[in-house]
Amino acid sequence: MNARMSIVQLSGLKKYFDSVRAVDGVDLAIDQGEFLVILGPSGCGKTTLMRMIAGLEKPTAGHIEIGGEDVTDLPPRKRGVSMVFQSYALYPHMNVFNNIAFPLRAQRRELKFDKRAIRERVESTARVLEIDMLLDRRPRQLSGGQRQRVAIARAMVTQPAVLLLDEPLSNLDAKLRANARDELKDFQRSSNITAIFVTHDQIEAMGLGDRIVVMSEGKIQQIGSPQSIYDDPANEFVATFLGSPSMNILSADRFRFGFRPEHFLPKTLHDNPENSRIFHYFVKRVEYLGSDRLVYGYVHGHDNDLTLAKVPSNVRVSLDIESDYEFAVHNRDIKFFDNVSGQRIEQQSLAQAK
Amino acid sequence: MGLLSWVLHNFWALLVLLFLALVALRIAWRIHKYGATRAEFAYVLRRSPFYLVVLTFCFFAAAPFLIMFMHSFKTDGDLYRRPQPFVFRQDPTLEHLDALFNNTAYLEFIRNSVVVGIAVVIITLVLSLPAAYALARLTGRWGERAGMLMFLVYLVPPTLLFIPMFRIVVLLGLKDDPMSLIVVYPSFTVPFSMWLLSGFFKAVPPELEEAALVDGYNRVEAFLRVVLPLSLPGIISTIVFTFTLTLHEFIYGLVFIADTSQRTLSVGVPTELILGDVYFWQPLLAAALIIAIPVGLAYNLFLDSLVQGFTMGAVKG
């Protein structure tokens, strides 16, 4: 058990839709005050997982505990969670004030909110999210960014134990998104709320998450900090899913190995080539992307696997197309994967096997 | 009477004048807004043919009602001597309207129809709102089929059902009582309203309800506070439609109720004002027109959402 108390505990959680295994046995503990990101390609079960935590989907098997209480069979309203939907799901027939007050009014009896208490609570929440001047507007009169804030305000106003966010940034345009990401993180820090954030956008995941859960085909592939997931992927799926462009994977006889394009550099740029592995690299094409050059080519002996290299623009190495070069990767940057299962293999165990 | 007589004598001229006045007002308003420029003048000219066409169609649509209106005031002599719908050759008269209201049970027909209509609308909504919601949201594999089955009921014509229904009505002791219609009419209004409403409910995004569920409401509350307000246009057009369904229903009304004062409009008016092959045209037309006006207005007000309701479920599947 961790030193910090885990607020959400999922054990053996499964959800089958007829024969489709949307979520296939998930065990996960989420700590109090943590920003947890669930990352995966579309259809990997991440949204289903979140909907089960919210209570909108009934698990086929397994248990959900929130705050130490088994909530598996409880309806959403008794779970103490709030949710921000991808479409925001603001009530179009209510103004912003009533949208934010809506959850408070549901709990009026239990929390003993009178009209004034509701007004104060809504206004203070709106002030935190800087939407206090919009309280009289209808949702359709708001911009995308404003709608998103209203949705977050509505989710936060009851001060829930857990905040669930289902790709809330995906409807914003690219410029707003970076800004919203920053604000969301600040907001979560300062309010010390536990946030579970579902996304398919790895940049969002890396930027926001204290921990990232990578999911694929209904299963958790890896859990860890953004850095550990990127630098130390548990299997080939995680390795190739993260990173843009993704990791180069080459086949050897009994295993596969991979390295990231940014680690695949001309030999002359490596300080001590003894610790590196040298590849003969045929450059097919070079894309100049401003800060980097993206090189497309083939490693000698792997003529079917397109291999990419990302060479910083500020290093003065000339790369001509249709030419051979010597490229190298530092040994620690090469990852080995099992041929069949795709699981990571440690280099030592590989050496022993030989 | 003097004013009415003058208006009716000059009815068509007044209609044209009214139209011209409206056109002049519209043009004046545009000039006030955009100034009397050449461009403005050209715009009016360019749009004129379009409005001319629209006007022609309007006239075709309105002509029956206008003719009904005029005929209500004609004397027998004027009406039957070589029918001439557009002019009065004898002075208009109010005697037929007087007869309609004072010598027939017209007001009672209206009262009965309104009572039956309102009661049926309420029963229909109470039954079909939850059914439509279930059909839109909570259908399992059998839900959709059950819905189809219910719609089949609507397809069985009253001409087949009125005899068994009559026996039931007698059994319930409701013969000659408008109550019998209140009991029987939902058999065709409920399936229809259910399908109409489920189209509107399907158009409400499910996330809105889910948001309400997470925000602390149960399903019934989520339905009442989120789905219902958002489908209000649909509910209103369902009310209008259900009401008119009861208003023009004939065969049950004819069979179940023999007592004149208990009859509804759709049965009472033709049975009272057509005796054998004698048609009392003027009161007949007046009776039809008076009830057609509010219904026509209601239809026009909610036409858009009504059409939406018919097509929505179809597109979304």
Q: What is the tens place of the pLDDT at every residue in A38-62?
A: 999 998 999 999 999 999 999 999 9
Q: Does the pLDDT at position B317 exceed 50?
A: no
Q: How far apart are CA A231 and CA A242, in angstroms?
A: 10
Q: What is the domain count for chain A?
A: 2
Confidence (pLDDT) at A307: 93
Query: Does the CB of A17 have a partner CB in chain B at under 8 Å?
Result: no
Q: Does the pLDDT at position A302 exceed 70?
A: yes
Which of B105, B74, B57 minimizes the C-alpha distance to B9?
Answer: B74
Antiparallel, parallel or unpaired: β A162-166 and A194-199: parallel
Query: Does the CB of A93 have a partner CB in chain B at under 8 Å?
Result: yes
Tell me if A348 is assigned to some domain: yes
Tell me if A237 is assigned to some domain: no
- Chain A residues closer than 8 Å to B217 by CB: 77, 106
- Chain B residues closer than 8 Å to A75 by CB: 213, 218
Indicate whether A218 and A255 sit together in one domain.
Answer: no
Residue B148 banded pLDDT, cuts 50, 70, 90: confident
Does the beta-carbon distance from A89 to B226 stay under 8 Å?
A: no
Tell me if A240 is assigned to some domain: no
Here the ipTM equals 0.84
Would you call the peptide bond into A92 cis, given omega within 30 degrees of 0 as the criterion? no
Q: How far apart are CA A106 and CA A104, in angstroms?
A: 5
Query: Does the CB of B276 have a partner CB in chain A at under 8 Å?
Result: no
Indicate whether A211 and A266 sit together in one domain.
Answer: no
Nearest CA in chain B to A77: B216
Residue percentage of chain A with pLDDT more than 90: 57
- CATH 3.40.50.720 applies to domain B101-316: no
Indicate whether A139 and A17 sit together in one domain.
Answer: yes
Q: Does the pLDDT at position A268 exceed 90?
A: no
Does the beta-carbon distance from A77 to B207 stay under 8 Å?
A: no
Q: How far apart are CA A342 and CA A333, in angstroms?
A: 17
- Chain B residues closer than 8 Å to A87 by CB: 205, 207
Q: Which residues contact B312 (CB under 8 A, 6 or more apart)?
A: B199, B200, B202, B203
Among A188-192, A240-244, A326-330, B33-37, whose mean pLDDT is lowest?
A: B33-37
Q: What is the pLDDT of residues B194-231, one digit of tens each?
A: 988 988 898 888 999 999 999 999 999 999 999 998 88
Nearest chain A CA: its distance from B205 CA (Å): 8
Q: From A189, A207, A231, give the residue that closes a domain.
A: A231
Q: From A168, A196, A231, give the residue that closes a domain.
A: A231
Residue percentage of chain B with pLDDT more than 70: 95
Q: Which tokens in the block code for residue B105?
A: 């049970």
Q: Does the pLDDT at position A109 exceed 80?
A: no
Tell me if A175 is assigned to some domain: yes
> Best interface-test mutation with B: which of A66, A82, A90, A93 has the largest number of B CBs within 10 A?
A93
Residue A352 banded pLDDT, cuts 50, 70, 90: low
Among A29-43, A92-106, A257-271, B298-312, whose mean pLDDT is lowest?
A: B298-312
- Chain A residues closer than 8 Å to B221 by CB: 106
User: Which residues numbered 140-169 in A keep a CB inside 8 Å of some CB on B?
Assistant: 154, 158
Nearest CA in chain B to A93: B230
Does the beta-carbon distance from A83 to B211 stay under 8 Å?
A: yes
Q: Does the pLDDT at position A219 exceed 90?
A: yes
Indicate whether A72 and A186 sit together in one domain.
Answer: yes
Q: What is the pLDDT of residues B278-308, one digit of tens each?
A: 889 999 999 999 999 888 888 888 777 666 6
Confidence (pLDDT) at A351: 59
Question: Other C-beta atoms within 10 Å of B76: how many?
Answer: 14
Confidence (pLDDT) at A211: 95
Tell me if A217 is assigned to some domain: yes
- Chain A residues closer than 8 Å to B203 by CB: none
Q: Does the pLDDT at position A280 exceed 60?
A: yes
Q: What is the pLDDT of residues B221-270, one digit of tens each?
A: 999 999 998 888 889 889 988 999 999 899 999 999 999 899 999 999 99
Confidence (pLDDT) at B311: 58
Tallying the residues shown for chain A, one arrives at 354
For residue B252, the one-letter residue type is Y
Q: From A178, A205, A231, give the residue that closes a domain.
A: A231
Q: Which tokens in the block code for residue A323?
A: 């030419």
> Residue A58 belongs to a domain with what CATH number?
3.40.50.300
Confidence (pLDDT) at B275: 86
User: Which residues numbered 210-249 in B keep a CB inside 8 Å of some CB on A?
Assistant: 210-218, 221, 225-226, 229-230
Average of per-residue pLDDT values in chain A:
89
| Facing B214 at nearest CB: one of A83, A91, A92 | A83
Tell me if A239 is assigned to some domain: no
Indicate whether A114 and A253 sit together in one domain.
Answer: no
Q: How far apart are CA A99 and CA B75, in angstroms?
A: 63
Indicate whether A190 and A317 sit together in one domain.
Answer: no
Does the beta-carbon distance from A103 to B216 stay under 8 Å?
A: yes
Q: How far apart are CA A82 and CA A70, in angstroms?
A: 17
Query: Does the CB of B140 have a partner CB in chain A at under 8 Å?
Result: no
User: What mean pLDDT do residues A258-282 have?
Assistant: 88
Q: Which tokens in the block code for residue A83?
A: 């949710």
Burial of B163-179, coded b for 16+ CB within 10 Å and e otherwise, reads eebbeebeeeebbebbb
Indicate whether A96 and A164 sit together in one domain.
Answer: yes
> Best interface-test mutation with B: which of A51, A52, A77 has the largest number of B CBs within 10 A?
A77
Indicate whether A106 and A226 sit together in one domain.
Answer: yes
- Chain B residues closer than 8 Å to A83 by CB: 210-211, 214
User: What mean pLDDT do residues A287-295 have?
Assistant: 91
Residue A349 banded pLDDT, cuts 50, 70, 90: low
Does the beta-carbon distance from A76 to B226 stay under 8 Å?
A: no
**Residue pair B198/B133 in contact by the 8 Å Cβ criterion:** yes
Burial of B270 (0-12, 13-18, 19+ CB in 10 A): middle
| Angle separating helix axes B281-301 and B38-71, nearest 10 degrees | 140
Average of per-residue pLDDT values in chain B:
87
Q: Does the pLDDT at position B24 exceed 50?
A: yes
Q: What is the pLDDT of residues B110-139, one digit of tens each?
A: 999 999 999 999 999 999 999 999 888 877
* Angle A226-A228-A233 from CA coordinates, rounded to 5°: 105
Confidence (pLDDT) at B87: 80
Query: Does the CB of A77 have a partner CB in chain B at under 8 Å?
Result: yes
DSSP string, A34-97: -EEEEE--TTSSHHHHHHHHHTSS--SEEEEEETTEE-TTS-GGGTTEEEE-TT----TTS-HH
Nearest CA in chain B to A159: B215
Domain that holds residue A201: 6-231
Indicate whether A73 and A151 sit together in one domain.
Answer: yes
Q: What is the pLDDT of residues A154-179, one digit of tens each?
A: 998 988 889 999 998 888 888 888 88
Tell me if A241 is assigned to some domain: no
Residue A2 banded pLDDT, cuts 50, 70, 90: very low
Q: Which residues contact A352 (CB under 8 A, 6 or more apart)?
A: none
Tell me if A159 is assigned to some domain: yes
Q: Does the pLDDT at position A107 exceed 90?
A: no
Indicate whether A68 and A161 sit together in one domain.
Answer: yes
Residue A12 is given by DSSP the state: E
> Residue A302 belongs to a domain with what CATH number?
2.40.50.140
Residue B309 banded pLDDT, cuts 50, 70, 90: low
User: What mean pLDDT do residues A259-281 have?
Assistant: 88
Indicate whether A257 and A143 sit together in one domain.
Answer: no
Domains of chain B by residue range? 2-93, 101-316
Residue A350 banded pLDDT, cuts 50, 70, 90: low
Residue B231 is given by DSSP the state: T
Confidence (pLDDT) at B314: 41
Confidence (pLDDT) at B306: 67
